[in-house]
């Protein structure tokens, strides 16, 4: 976010290279895993307005998944521990204060996005843990996140597309 330049962005609605104006800020609660416990923190999100079409857009840092209360790192941590079979599913869910259904939804979404990114052949040859490790050692996760969004029209681990409008 330190290097973000609003004036260099393209509007995702009208496609114009627009000069953005800061429109507003809002608070967003995010659940993360800090020092061994789930913690809810408040993050301030910037909204920009396109001077061409008037639409407003939230500028989300990589750790925020659109429409999710959980941080990217929280979900990836849960998935890593699930893939490594560190503990039983019951203990894992209890430790992270999530339901089994939530864990299954995250695993399914992760597998779907992994397949979309890698393609069917490479996906079949790459374990979930190997893909997680690939994401973890990337020197610039932001580049992956932007490329994934361009390819799919939604963010990595976002559960549904943005509403049209």
- Which tens digits make up the pLDDT trace of 25-72? 999 999 999 998 999 999 999 898 888 888 888 888 888 999 899 999
Residue 160 domain flag: no
Residue 159 domain flag: no
The model's pTM is: 0.84
On whether both 48 and 76 belong to a single domain, the answer is no
pLDDT per residue as tens digits for the range 104-149: 999 999 999 999 999 999 999 999 999 999 998 888 888 898 899 8
pLDDT per residue as tens digits for the range 77-91: 999 999 999 899 999
On whether both 56 and 95 belong to a single domain, the answer is no
Looking at the 3D structure of the chain, how many domains does it have?
Answer: 2
Domain of residue 82 covers 64-154
In three-state form (DSSP H/G/I as H, E/B as E, the rest C), the secondary structure along the chain is CCCCCHHHCECCCCCCECCCEEEEEEEEEEEEEECCEEEEEEEEEEEEECCCCCCEEEECCCCECCCCCEEHHHHHHHHHHHHHCCCCHHHHHHHHCCCHHHHHHHHHHHHHHHHHHHCHHHHHHCCHHHHHHHHHHCCCHHHHHHHHHHHHCCCCCCCCCCCCC
- Of 33, 61, 89, the last residue of a domain is 61
């Amino acid at each position: 976010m330190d290097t973000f330049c609003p004036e260099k962005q393209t509007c995702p609605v009208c496609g114009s290279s627009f000069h953005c104006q800061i429109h507003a800020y809002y608070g967003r609660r995010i659940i993360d895993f800090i020092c061994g416990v789930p913690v809810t923190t408040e993050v301030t999100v910037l909204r920009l307005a396109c001077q061409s079409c008037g639409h407003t857009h939230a500028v989300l840092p990589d750790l925020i998944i659109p429409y999710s209360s959980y941080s990217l790192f929280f979900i990836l941590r849960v998935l890593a521990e699930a893939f490594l079979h560190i503990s039983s599913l019951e203990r894992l869910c209890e430790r992270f204060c999530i339901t089994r259904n939530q864990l299954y939804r995250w695993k399914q979404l992760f597998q779907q996005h992994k397949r979309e990114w890698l393609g069917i052949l490479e996906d079949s040859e790459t374990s979930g843990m190997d893909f997680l490790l690939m994401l973890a050692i990337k020197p610039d996760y932001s580049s992956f996140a932007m490329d994934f969004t361009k390819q799919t029209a939604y963010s990595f681990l976002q559960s549904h597309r943005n509403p049209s409008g």
